Amino acid sequence: MDSTHRTAAARLTGVLLLTAFATMFAGAVIVVPSGLTLNPSEPAAALAAVGARPWLHLLALGLDVAGWLALAAGALTMAAAAPRAALLPAGLLAAAGLAGMLHDAGNLALTQLAADPAAPAATAVAGAVLLTAKWGVNLAGLLWVAATATAALHLPLATGMRRAGAVAALSGLVAVALPWPTGLDGPSPAQEQFGYALHLPVMVWWAVLGGRELGARPRAGGPDLPAP
């Protein structure tokens, strides 16, 4: 791939990573204050919350799907822009995007269950769907943390960006591990919100990387340079 195509791929990566951050953050802004975090330990309450505000739930879900899709697409364009250095982090990032979309598929199934919460076994099925979705997003978070750590290690980045990536990956790892000690009970709503806060540095780090890629400029006879 010549310099012009590498620059185009890098800029598209930047657009996609920034889109992923913006849509996911917007979805979280809707979900957290409105009580739509959907705890699997309270399936009846989750069904009631979705049933009371189905369009708000669908809006947040649509934003989240768009975010995970943009993240996966950004991983593919990142691999195209710098195939050697970006292969491992891009693969992990794409896998995170796919796992995140599977998580959203479970939440979409819950929307249909909420249409008739009095149906036989609706609460039990909702609990199983929520539990699967929650551990799906936990897997997505783990893959995203791994992508962050490997990107900080392998991509051509400034020292400060590498260190910030390491800190973000550590914070994200704590967020991922947060529900593990809760066992069958699952995390409480407060723990979930704390997990969102701990994962935010990972999202911000990739948004900053997206801004860096968006400002990439070509250099004759060599790899593209990030914006200063």
pLDDT digits (tens, 9 = 90+) for 30-54: 988 887 878 777 888 888 888 888 8
Gap between the Cα atoms of 138 and 62, Å rounded: 19
Interval 74-106: pLDDT, tens: 999 998 887 677 899 999 999 999 999 999 998
* Residue 185 confidence (pLDDT): 66
pLDDT recorded at residue 122: 85
What's the 3-state SS for the chain? CCHHHHHHHHHHHHHHHHHHHHHHHHHHHHHHHHCCCCCCCCHHHHHHHHHHCHHHHHHHHHHHHHHHHHHHHHHHHHHHHCHHHHHHHHHHHHHHHHHHHHHHHHHHHHHHHHCCCCCCCHHHHHHHHHHHHHHHHHHHHHHHHHHHHHHHHHCCCCHHHHHHHHHHHHHHHHHHHCCHHHHHHCCCHHHHHHHHHHHHHHHHHHHHHHHHHHCCECCCCCCCECCC
Provide the pLDDT confidence category of residue 2 given band limits of 50, 70 and 90: low
Burial 50-80 (b: 16+ CB within 10 A, else e): beebeeebeebbebbbbbbbbbbbbbbbbbb
How much is the pTM? 0.88
Sequence-distant (≥ 6) Cβ neighbours of residue 41 within 8 angstroms: 185, 186, 188
